[in-house]
């Protein structure tokens, strides 16, 4: 069986748009009839996903797999680092927890993971025509070069040609690209086959003199200037823009608490696409106002973020709104916070053994060392959201004892979550993806205000995402020299 071709997108910095460029290239090649798969050896993110096999991976590679028209596979992201503090992270390898490590411990350990990274890559390469590889951060982090397994180190291991993208939206893109190339070793520079200017706003003709000089200085062609593409997909690099304070003119105001260690914020993307639902992220009590719904999202550190809410005054503000009848929804860690107590006798989250909850739901959570990871189908039981079908997944540590009404019933008969009045809690991520819960929520919240809910698009959330991937691919086809990229792939194959 022949081995797949590959191409790698690296960036001059974190947030340069690598994830989106890789997704767009996956869709372009998929449209052209290639069997294509994404790959990122190491991803640091709190946004994760559970595959059909019950394994955990980064959402960015899930998004890229969707763009490629294939099921997410943990081999696409063999190492996932989930920060749990300023200095420590949970290390997940091939979808399973490998341990908790400080940055220094992981730095010493990661070279041991090279065989597992290569095994995942080679397995994907044996099943596909092309692998689109995403780097991380910048390849010019020369202090990390000796043990790199995600940028030029990986490119060398799999013999990948590299496209280097710079973010013009942040300014200084010529210095970004030239400086990055200048800091690379000679053999690394030879791998860079093209430069990309990303996130441009304006007339690209203005850039032409600078592009010509950049090509002269680096000896590397500029393959295109990609405009700032306004597409609605789960791009990991768009975390900052997704969570920024935004003005909405929609009739329903939904406030999501922006926890310090917020995870899986993409759970709420379907809400943002609904014509009646405005979503904003709040990290201070004076910005909370009087929303129509408050959401407590998932978090990597439930107890630490609950303490932050308590100290910041947000806990008291949310409790006050709840007592006045404002609906409150907690998802995963947010659900755990809404209960009466959280205990951690095994040190799963840290040294704190017990913490009083917000007291808005009649339930108690006990953390345990084992992590629950599973995909489920469910249906809401009772209340204003009754009978809404859910297709979600669980990623959490701990079990919750519920003394009140459950939120939903899983397909295997188990119950999940808790409901008490207008307060709801569930462990299910992706709960809005099916669309039914979004519609019922919009109808209920609009009805409470005496207004008519707008109608969502006739297409499903999945159909909306498919359309966005096509828009992304169209944008890249117009902006990039795809003929040159195909020549790079052909040269790579001839060079083997």
Catalytic residue among 6, 418, 429, 446: 429
H or E segment at 319?
helix 314-323
- Which residue in this structure is represented by tokens 């692998």? 131
Question: What is the rounded CA–CA span in Å between residue 434 and residue 463?
Answer: 11
Contact 360, 412 (CB under 8 A): no
The dihedral formed by the CA atoms of 254, 255, 258 and 264, expressed in degrees to the nearest 10: -20
Check the CA dihedral 37-196-464-274 and report its sign.
positive
End-to-end CA distance of the chain, in Å?
Answer: 15
Query: 242, 332, 363, 446: which is the annotated catalytic residue?
Result: 332
Note whether 208 and 192 are within 8 A (CB): no
Phi, psi of 35, rounded to the nearest 5 degrees:
-85, 105
Give the other-Cβ count within 10 Å of 286's Cβ. Answer: 8
Is 236 buried (19+), middle (13-18) or exposed (0-12) by CB count in 10 A? buried
Q: Which helix (H) or strand (E) holds 199?
A: strand 192-200
Angle at 63 between CA 58 and CA 67, to 5 degrees: 145
Alpha carbon separation from 452 to 16, 155, 254 (Å, rounded): 41, 54, 17
295: left (phi over 0), alpha (psi -120 to 50) or beta: beta
Catalytic, 230? Answer no
Respond yes or no: is residue 26 known to be catalytic. Answer: no
β-pairing verdict for 36-39 and 130-134: parallel
Contact between 87 and 50 under an 8 Å Cβ cutoff? The reply is no
The DSSP line for 61-123 is HHHHHHHHTS---GGGSSEEEEE-SSSEEEEEETTEEEEEEEHHHHHHHGGGGHHHHHHHHHH
Question: Which of 86, 62, 88, 90 lies closest to 74, judged by CA?
Answer: 62
CA distance 114 to 482: 32
C-alpha 252/C-alpha 107 separation (Å) is 46
Q: Which residues are catalytic?
A: 332, 429
């Amino acid at each position: 069986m022949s081995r797949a071709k590959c191409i790698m997108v690296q960036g001059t910095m974190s947030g340069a748009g690598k994830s989106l460029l890789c997704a767009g290239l996956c869709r372009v090649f998929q449209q052209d009839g290639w069997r294509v798969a994404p790959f990122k050896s190491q991803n640091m993110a709190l946004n994760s996903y559970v595959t059909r096999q019950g394994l955990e991976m980064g959402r960015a590679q899930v998004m890229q797999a969707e763009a490629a028209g294939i099921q997410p596979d943990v081999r696409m992201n063999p190492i996932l680092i989930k920060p749990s503090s300023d200095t420590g992270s949970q290390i997940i390898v091939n979808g399973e927890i490998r341990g908790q490590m400080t940055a220094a411990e992981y730095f010493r350990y990661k070279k041991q993971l090279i065989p597992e990274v290569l095994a995942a890559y080679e397995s994907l390469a044996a099943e596909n025509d092309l692998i689109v590889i995403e780097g991380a951060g910048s390849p010019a982090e020369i202090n990390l070069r000796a043990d790199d397994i995600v940028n030029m180190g990986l490119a060398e291991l799999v013999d990948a040609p590299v496209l280097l993208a710079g973010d013009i939206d942040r300014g200084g893109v010529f210095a970004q690209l030239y400086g990055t190339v200048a800091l690379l070793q000679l053999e690394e520079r030879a791998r860079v086959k093209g430069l990309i200017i990303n996130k441009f706003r304006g007339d690209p003709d203005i850039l032409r003199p600078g592009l010509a000089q950049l090509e002269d200085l680096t000896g590397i062609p500029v393959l295109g200037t990609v405009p700032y593409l306004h597409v609605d997909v789960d791009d990991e690099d768009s975390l900052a823009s997704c969570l920024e304070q935004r003005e909405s003119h929609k009739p329903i105001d939904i406030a999501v608490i922006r926890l310090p260690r917020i995870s899986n914020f993409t759970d709420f993307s379907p809400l943002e696409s609904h014509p009646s639902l405005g979503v904003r992220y709040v990290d201070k009590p004076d910005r909370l106002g009087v929303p129509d719904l408050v959401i407590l999202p998932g978090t990597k550190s439930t107890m630490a973020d609950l303490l932050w809410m308590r100290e910041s005054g947000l806990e008291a503000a949310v409790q006050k709104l709840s007592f006045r009848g404002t609906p409150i929804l907690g998802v995963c860690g947010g659900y755990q916070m809404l209960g009466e107590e959280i205990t951690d006798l095994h040190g799963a989250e840290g040294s704190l053994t017990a913490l009083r909850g917000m007291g808005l739901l009649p339930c108690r959570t006990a953390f345990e060392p084992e992590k629950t990871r599973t995909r489920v189908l469910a249906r809401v039981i009772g209340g204003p959201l009754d009978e809404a079908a859910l297709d979600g997944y669980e990623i959490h540590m701990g079990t919750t004892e519920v003394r009140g009404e459950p939120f939903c019933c899983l397909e295997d008969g188990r119950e999940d979550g808790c409901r008490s009045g207008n307060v709801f809690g569930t462990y299910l991520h992706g709960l809005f993806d099916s669309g039914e819960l979004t519609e019922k929520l919009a109808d209920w919240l609009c009805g409470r205000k005496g207004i008519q809910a707008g109608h969502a698009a006739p297409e499903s959330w999945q159909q909306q995402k498919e359309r966005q991937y096509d828009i992304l691919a169209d944008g890249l086809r117009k902006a990039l020299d795809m003929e040159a990229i195909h020549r790079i792939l052909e040269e790579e194959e001839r060079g083997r």
